[in-house]
Structures are given as structure tokens and as C-alpha cells.
Amino acid sequence: METIKDETIKELKIKANDIRKSIVEMLYLAGSGHTAGALGMADVFTYLYFNALRHKPENPYWLERDRLVLSNGHICPVLYATMAHAGYFKIEELKTLRKFGSHLQGHPHREFLPIVDTSSGPLGEGLSQAVGMAIASRMDNGVDKTIYCIVGDGELNEGQNWEAIMLGAKYKLDNLIVIVDRNFIQIDGTTEEVMPLSVLEDKWKSFNWDVQKINENDFREINHAIYHAKNTKWKPSVIIANTIPGKGVKEWENDYKWHGIAPNKDQYEMAIKELNMRGDKLK
């Protein structure tokens, strides 16, 4: 797993671009939602669902599957789009995002979509849930599950995260891998303007976690980081993924204003045109 073939990288890039197109379309049709973070994390989600997670879309309740907790639930369009492309449900259903009665609510909700591992919305709670899952997993004799938790950098302002980080270190949860979406934006501006996180990797190291810092848009770096984390013993792992919010649509990239808005018709058409051109170049 440490090495990844060029052909695999090409396939993942094409898949990530298709997922980005689905994200843009579903947000446009919904008329609301969170664009920047969803597009920025498309490569990580593509890698996880198509190269790392032990899971069975045809048997979503398989007890030995890995678990994925999306703590920053507002970026759920990337989760839904990736799961649809992986075969959990029909891609056509993505068009129902945020519609009344849809399985695909504005934040993941197990009452509406039981195949997700957690409901999420209030920021700062997912890591505590993931720590609990990692502890519980140790009690399942003979079942070697990895618990993945996706957190936003802005939600690390919530104190509950740091209680969970302490607990994860205390129990040496080496079956827990946290991926921080380090995109430096939140709804009111940049993270460093709203509440500076300073040198984030040093904070995690001081809590006795194994820490890696990567470029999220580089599949080789993602691959190496996941391999390293899965082979780290006696410590939980965190991967701080430097992401580009709005990745794939140049006009939206690194603009915090796209944190919580959806594209209008003209913006949608522009974005799809750009992503189609990118897809043609990848093939």
C-alpha cells in the first residue's frame, strides 16, 4: 500500500473530477449548501472510498468494515457524491440534496440515511464519537477495524475536540486516523483571523499524537500518509491535509465566501465547463 501505481493515480484523478462535477450540480440544484470545503476534500474522499477503506457498498452494514466519521458535516456533499460514485446508491439521487424528504439532508443524518456511520452537524462532536468507536473496536475480538475521522480546521476552536484528543492519546488508539481539512477558511473569514490555530502540528504533537502534514491534492502524499498512519503503533494518528477550498474551479479557490453558498446558474455552467475541460485533459 505504500507505493501507488501511476495508472491508479490517473484513475483516482478522473474519479475525483467526476465527484467534483456531482458536487457542483447537486449544490446548484439545491440552491444552498457548502461548496468550498466539499470541493477541497474531494481527493481525500476519493482516495479513501476507492483505495483505502475496507468496505462493501453492496453490504453497507458489514460488521468488519472500517468506519468513517464526518465531523464537519456541512461538507457532506463530498461524502454523498463519493458514496454514490462508489455504488452505495444511485448517482441520480444526488439531485435530491436538501429536498424535503430526501435521504440526503444538509448534514448527514442516520434517520434519513442509515448507511452513514454518524449523524453530524454541531461542530466539535465527531472526534469524540470516533474516539468512542476506536475504543469499542478494541473490544471486538479479532476484528481489526480502522476508524477514520474527518474534521475541519475551524471546528478545532471547539474545546471538546481537545478533550477527545487527550483521551485518544491516553488509550494509545492506533486504530484511529484523524484527517484535518486544513483549508484556512471558515464562514466569517480565515481561520487565523477568527481564531488563530498557529502551528497546528505542534499542538497535536504536544498531545502525544503521531502527526503528518500533507498536500491533500497529491495522491502519492495521501497514500504514503495513510500507509504510515495504519502502521503506527501505540499512538493515534493525525494527518493535517493542506487543502484548497473550492479546488477545481479557479474562480472559487481560496475564497472564504464560498464556504457556505451554492452556485447560481451562470456559476454552475462556468464550473461544469471548467471541470469538463479538466476531465478531458486527464483522460
pLDDT tens by residue, 253-267: 999 999 999 999 999
Q: What is the mean pLDDT of residues 198-222?
A: 94
Q: What is the mean pLDDT of residues 192-197?
A: 89
Domain covering 6-282 in this structure, CATH number: 3.40.50.970
Q: Output the nine-digit C-alpha cell for 193.
A: 483571523
- In percent, the amount of the chain with pLDDT more than 90 equals 87
Q: What is the mean pLDDT of residues 221-229?
A: 97
Q: What is the pTM of this model?
A: 0.96
Task: Assess whether pLDDT exceeds 60 at residue 1.
Answer: no
Task: Assess whether pLDDT exceeds 80 at residue 79.
Answer: yes
The confidence band for 103, taking pLDDT boundaries of 50, 70 and 90, is very high
State the distance between the two ends of the chain, measured CA to CA, in whole angstroms.
Answer: 24
Average pLDDT value for the chain: 94
| Sheet bearing 67-70, strands edge to edge | 67-70, 147-152, 176-182, 237-242, 210-215
The confidence band for 216, taking pLDDT boundaries of 50, 70 and 90, is confident
Q: What is the mean pLDDT of residues 165-192?
A: 93
- Interatomic CA distance for residues 3 and 17, integer angstroms: 22
Q: What is the pLDDT of residue 244?
A: 95
- Interatomic CA distance for residues 53 and 9, integer angstroms: 16
The confidence band for 252, taking pLDDT boundaries of 50, 70 and 90, is very high
Report DSSP state, residue 51.
I
- Interatomic CA distance for residues 40 and 78, integer angstroms: 9
Q: Output the nine-digit C-alpha cell for 129.
A: 464519537
Which has the higher per-residue pLDDT, 169 or 217?
169
Which amino acid is located at 23 in the chain?
I
Residues 7-65 have pLDDT tens digits of: 999 999 999 999 999 999 999 999 999 999 999 999 999 999 999 999 999 999 999 99
